[in-house]
Structure 1
Amino acid sequence: MTQDLTFFAEALVFAHGHRAECEAALHAELCEKSGNMETADTWRRLQKAIRDQARPRLAA
């Protein structure tokens, strides 16, 4: 599932650019409001994956 989230996060960034994290948050909120907590959780994890991709990686 993590690999799928990473792939989808990359696709959202490609499609929405710097607004990708906001898009994921919006979808999570909509799912929460409609009572679909499982899907909302997936969107929240996707939001985190997008945020993690945006962080600069430190050299080991």
Structure 2
Amino acid sequence: MTALEHRQVALVDLLDRLLAGGVVVTGDLTLRIADVDLVRVDLNALISSVGEQVSVPWVEEP
């Protein structure tokens, strides 16, 4: 075992570190009965923190 396996990290610190670098979440969910696909959900999400210096991709109206 290494020293990192016993290191405790607060959930807030973990979220702060993840949001500072960004997180990509992807997944597929398929509900099927008797080999017939009934519902399919695809998830693609980018979660990141944004500062004031980052410009918005849309036009703001005055």
Structure 2 length-normalised TM: 0.25
Name the structure, 1 or 2, with higher relative contact order (CA <8 Å, separation 6+).
1
Structure with the greater alpha carbon radius of gyration: 2
The structure richer in helix per residue is: 1
The structure richer in strand per residue is: 2
